[in-house]
Amino acid sequence: DTAVSQTPKYLVTQMGNDKSIKCEQNLGHDTMYWYKQDSKKFLKIMFSYNNKELIINETVPNRFSPKSPDKAHLNLHINSLELGDSAVYFCASSQESGGLSEQYFGPGTRLTVT
């Protein structure tokens, strides 16, 4: 009974393709996040949704589009993939969007763009 799950775990694709990464949480949390971890292990927030509403939208290219069909799911769609998109993408969730809430992370999706 995994708390935060992501699919796929690994994704290898060519430049120019469009791909999606899915995230689901079964914790009943209201808030979900997407983070990007680069090759130097630096973690950076990309997006956050609270009850299906976008609340954080960092400066990421328009090619990245999050979608939250319900509060248990937050998917990340990436258009026209570029080499620089290669990274590990982490989904996370928290009980609420407040600054004190512990965030629970998924296992990560390693995206490799060739």
Residues that bind other proteins (CB under 8 A): 4, 31, 33, 40-45, 48, 55-56, 90, 92, 94, 96-108
**CB of 41 or CB of 62, closer to other proteins:** 41
From residue 77, alpha-carbon distances to 15, 107, 109 in Å are 14, 18, 13
**CB of 81 or CB of 109, closer to other proteins:** 109
DSSP state letter for 60 = -
How far is it, in rounded angstroms, from Cα 92 to Cα 30? Answer: 11
**Minimum distance between the CB of residue 101 and other proteins, rounded to whole angstroms?**
6
- Sign of the CA dihedral 96, 99, 100, 102? positive
**Minimum distance between the CB of residue 30 and other proteins, rounded to whole angstroms?**
10
**Minimum distance between the CB of residue 31 and other proteins, rounded to whole angstroms?**
6
**CB of 104 or CB of 110, closer to other proteins:** 104
**Minimum distance between the CB of residue 87 and other proteins, rounded to whole angstroms?**
14
Residue among 1, 66, 56, 53 at smallest CA distance from 27: 1
